[in-house]
Amino acid sequence: AKEIHQILDEKPIVNQWQLKHWQWIATYYMCSIGEVFRAALPSTLLLESETILSAKQEIVVDDLSLSDDEFLIFEALQHQSSLKINDVIAILNKKNVFPIIQKLIDKNILLLQEEIQEVYKPKLVRYIRIHQNYASNEALSDLLNVIKAKKQSELLLGFFQLQAVERKPISVKQLLEFTSVSSAVLKVLIDKAIFEEYHLIEDRTDFKTDAMDSELILSEAQQKALLEIKKQLTQKDICLLHGVTSSGKTEIYSKLIQESLDTGKQILFLLPEIALTTQLLSRLRKFFGNKVAVFHSKYSNNERVEVWNQVLENSPKAQVVIGARSAMFLPFSNLGLVIVDEEHEQNFKQVDPAPRYHARDAVTVLANFHQAKVVLGSATPSLETYYNTQNNKYGLVELFERYNNVPMPEILLVDLKDKYFRKRMNGHFSDTLLEEITNALSLGEQVILFQNRRGYAPLLECITCGHVPQCPNCDVSLTYHKFKNQLRCHYCGHSIAKPTNCHQCSSVDLITKGFGTEQIELELATLFPNKKIQRMDQDTTRGKFGYEKIIDKFQNREVDILVGTQMLAKGLDFDNVSLVGILNADNMLYFPDFRAFERSYQMMSQVSGRAGRSEKKGKVVIQTYNPNHNTIQQVTHTDYKGMYKEQLYERQIFKYPPFYKLVKITLRHKDFEKVKESSIWLYQVLSQHLQMPVLGPEEPAISKIRNEYIRTIMIKIPETVSPQQTKKTIQKILNSFDVIVQYRSVKLVVNVDVT
């Protein structure tokens, strides 16, 4: 037995279900358990260790065996009992201090220790009370006679007034605000031992709830869907609610949550991205008030620890947890219901770093450990989920009518190939779209315009020699941003001022090709000079409340036209938008990805769904070179099943999910030859050992990012083969790759269930 050095936690901070789940994630997504731990635990829950140096032995100050640097360290230790590495760096003004420290250790002068520190800091709030010397009423009335200074007696009287109405502890802040007396006066009274200050720990995540909605009454169709979901869940663990946009899915979830709450269970509500869903959040808070906790990556570490502890203690404050994908790592012990809203969203899949998990899929495993039920919801379900309803693994409930019987929007297609339309284009606006915008604005209604590309133009081209400026670090052309007059790489952030001459031939004839949200915003400013136009994309929504500010402004009708990227497609509910315009449907359709048509369908349907959500029927204008494209026709006719059947057929013949599981291996290195050679080696070994399609090694469309060359290998695991067994084989091969000395510096990334 050894001595206990330090007790890290008084009670466990993770539970058995988490450990089992995390192990499953590591195995399924082919990463280390440590990587899962790192993603799962708020870093302040882990204890930080710090290296501490202290002097071991007395030495004579004029010891000649010490170098100057060594002497400086030693001297500092005469004044301070210990030093941290950063202190040493500051003292010596050198970056690499370790060799010097090592020498002192070798000379038996220094001692090195690891000190473990707690990093979570509770939030302490200052409170004030009357000192116990004045506990009796007599003492108190004496006191009031003794205090002569005007400000001091104001403060005392203010305190008593507050105490009379509040009947709860009075904070320093509250008292000073109430009395408008300065904190210096308060300090005098504390020094005189009339007031006494004390501290209470406060939750950072506490929030003020709006008035609770008294009663939520479902429409007949919603009620029917609710009953159907409950029925399905008696036979199956997972049920898909396929409800068109604005059918009122949130209200159905709310009823399900309420029933689960009544049985005392915990509820997890996953959203693709919290920042974009403040609206939904405030709606759920209205129903469930202070039983709702929120958890997401924009929270500080301290905030996350607090939610973590509330869930761990099964506290009523966190009985319902709303969060982005990482919320599934919380220490639930009594999970009854999991809701995954907008289940089709790509954002549920973590791309980087490992674990590269898909929260929608991974959370069903956790739910299973708890015997909790799962409801997935979407107007445009992912092919995988819908397939699972068709083969009876999941239940399916459909809701095809909008709440309040608002009709689905009318969709107008503008054929950009058509000469008639083309002649009448004004910038990137067809006359149909312009007319509809003008109409909507004249009725005081708002407009949303969608262009899935930010910046002004994706390329700048020299018309004399055809040169297009490229990123020096990545294999992509630079995007032109007009407001900053910059060319910028969207992969590594590299930027340069816009050149006036071609770098290749010095010509000044540089033109832009293609268009992004910035260009649309500028065109609108000339077309509608008196209207307020706002852009919403990655460039305008930086900062903690970037999205919220824009959404609030639009909601309060301070903006007439909102132009944005796919951020617009996410679950927003505006009551005054009658028109949605999609400026160019084609760049989505022809994106080189096996999901391009499915994604285009989802994106266009979701954006269109923002039109006409309350009472009024909305309109959607889609500009495209391919109005007869099946996907566009399917969007126009809200024909989800048509899209599903067509895509499923293609997935089957081209060997893609849901029929095959995809495992993608990416190799990266600064040395072109090394990537090439190592990827060929890996490909050959994989295809020798796996009886299934192995594709590659492929040079991806963007073959260099941040100065690293990239090759990919794709493994397609058929439904009939055990994925576990296959992954084991792959892992063995990757391990043997890792021990080849000349390949050791090649970075390997394994991505299971590529999206």
What whole-number distance in Å separates Cα of residue 429 and Cα of residue 169? 61
Nearest-approach distance from CB 500 to Zn ion, in angstroms: 12
The tokens describing 673, both together, are: 């030859």
| H-helix segments, 167-218 | 172-179, 183-191
Site string for ligand ADP, 659-698 (x = CB under 6 A): ----------------------------------------
Mark the segment that binds Zn ion (CB under 5 A) among 38-46, 135-143, 185-193, 471-479.
471-479
Does 219 bind ligand ADP (CB under 6 A)? Our answer is yes
The nearer residue to ligand ADP, 251 or 539, going by C-beta atoms, is: 251
Using CB under 6 A, pick the residue from 218, 527, 680, 695 that binds ligand ADP: 218
Q: How many CB atoms lie within 10 A of CB 688?
A: 9
Amino acid symbol at 107: K
Using CB under 5 A, pick the residue from 76, 412, 459, 492 that binds Zn ion: 492
Residues within window 545-584 making contact with ligand ADP, judged by CB under 6 A:
573
Helix, strand, coil share (%) of the chain residues, nearest 5: 40, 20, 35
Phi, psi of 106 (to 5 degrees): -60, -35
Does 499 bind Zn ion (CB under 5 A)? Our answer is no
What whole-number distance in Å separates Cα of residue 694 and Cα of residue 712? 11
Mark the segment that binds ligand ADP (CB under 6 A) among 70-78, 124-132, 218-226, 622-630.
218-226
Nearest-approach distance from CB 252 to ligand ADP, in angstroms: 8
Q: How many residues does the chain have?
A: 755
Q: At what angle do helices 183-191 and 150-166 cross, to 10 degrees?
A: 90
Site string for ligand ADP, 235-264 (x = CB under 6 A): --------x-xxxxxxx-------------
Does 165 bind ligand ADP (CB under 6 A)? Our answer is no
The nearer residue to ligand ADP, 352 or 615, going by C-beta atoms, is: 615
Nearest-approach distance from CB 403 to ligand ADP, in angstroms: 4
Q: How many CB atoms lie within 10 A of CB 325?
A: 26
What whole-number distance in Å separates Cα of residue 259 and Cα of residue 308? 24
**In terms of C-beta distances under 8 Å and separation of at least 24 residues, what long-range contacts does 298-302 make, across chains too?**
298/274, 298/544, 299/205, 300/204, 301/42, 301/43, 301/44, 301/119, 301/120, 302/44, 302/120, 302/121, 302/122, 302/123, 302/204
Q: Is residue 31 annotated as involved in ligand binding?
A: no
- On whether the CB atoms of residues 593 and 650 are closer than 8 A, the answer is no
Site string for Zn ion, 435-464 (x = CB under 5 A): ---------------------------x-x
Q: Is residue 505 annotated as involved in ligand binding?
A: yes
Nearest to 188 by CA among 147, 226, 223, 160: 147
The nearer residue to ligand ADP, 219 or 486, going by C-beta atoms, is: 219
Using CB under 5 A, pick the residue from 502, 536, 620, 682 that binds Zn ion: 502
The nearer residue to Zn ion, 465 or 701, going by C-beta atoms, is: 465
Ranked by CB distance to ligand ADP, the top (closest) residue is 248
Mark the segment that binds Zn ion (CB under 5 A) among 20-28, 500-508, 546-554, 581-589.
500-508
Mark the segment that binds Zn ion (CB under 5 A) among 130-138, 317-325, 384-392, 488-496.
488-496
Amino acid symbol at 175: L
| Contacted by 471, from ligand ADP, Zn ion, none: CB < 5 to 8 Å by type | Zn ion
**Count of residues that interact with ligand ADP, criterion CB under 6 A:** 16
Residue carrying structure tokens 């520190």:
117
Nearest-approach distance from CB 408 to ligand ADP, in angstroms: 12
The nearer residue to ligand ADP, 64 or 217, going by C-beta atoms, is: 217
The nearer residue to ligand ADP, 127 or 253, going by C-beta atoms, is: 253
| Contacted by 247, from Zn ion, ligand ADP, none: CB < 5 to 8 Å by type | ligand ADP
DSSP H/E element including 735: helix 723-738
Nearest to 603 by CA among 625, 626, 580, 577: 580
Beta bridge partners of 581: 449, 621
DSSP H/E element including 70: helix 68-79
- Strand order, beta sheet including 577-582: 410-415, 619-624, 577-582, 446-450, 561-564, 533-536
The nearer residue to Zn ion, 473 or 633, going by C-beta atoms, is: 473
The nearer residue to ligand ADP, 249 or 664, going by C-beta atoms, is: 249
| Contacted by 443, from Zn ion, ligand ADP, none: CB < 5 to 8 Å by type | none
Region of 558 please: left (phi>0), alpha (psi -120 to 50) or beta: alpha
Site string for ligand ADP, 354-393 (x = CB under 6 A): ----------------------------------------
Nearest-approach distance from CB 448 to ligand ADP, in angstroms: 15
Using CB under 5 A, pick the residue from 279, 473, 614, 666 that binds Zn ion: 473
| Contacted by 465, from Zn ion, ligand ADP, none: CB < 5 to 8 Å by type | Zn ion
Phi, psi of 571 (to 5 degrees): 45, 30
What whole-number distance in Å separates Cα of residue 269 and Cα of residue 291? 13
Q: Is residue 462 annotated as involved in ligand binding?
A: yes
Nearest-approach distance from CB 383 to ligand ADP, in angstroms: 20
Q: Which residues contact 406 (CB under 8 A, 6 or more apart)?
A: 246, 612, 613, 614, 615, 616, 617
- On whether the CB atoms of residues 432 and 622 are closer than 8 A, the answer is no
Does 615 bind ligand ADP (CB under 6 A)? Our answer is no
Does 281 bind ligand ADP (CB under 6 A)? Our answer is no
Nearest-approach distance from CB 244 to ligand ADP, in angstroms: 7
Task: Give Cα 555 to chain centroid, integer Å.
Answer: 22
Task: Give Cα 475 to chain centroid, integer Å.
Answer: 27
Amino acid symbol at 144: L
Does 217 bind ligand ADP (CB under 6 A)? Our answer is yes
Site string for Zn ion, 507-546 (x = CB under 5 A): x---------------------------------------
Q: Which residues contact 474 (CB under 8 A, 6 or more apart)?
A: 489, 491, 492, 494, 702, 704, 705, 706, 707
**Could you write out the DSSP letters of every residue in 321-355?**
EEESGGGGGS--SSEEEEEEETTT-GGGB--SSS-
Does 465 bind Zn ion (CB under 5 A)? Our answer is yes
Binding residues: 462, 465, 471, 474, 489, 492, 502, 505
Contact footprint for Zn ion (CB under 5 A): 462, 464-465, 467, 471, 473-474, 489, 491-492, 494, 502, 504-505, 507
Binding residues for Zn(2+): 462, 465, 471, 474, 489, 492, 502, 505
Contact footprint for ligand ADP (CB under 6 A): 216-219, 222, 243, 245-251, 403, 573, 613
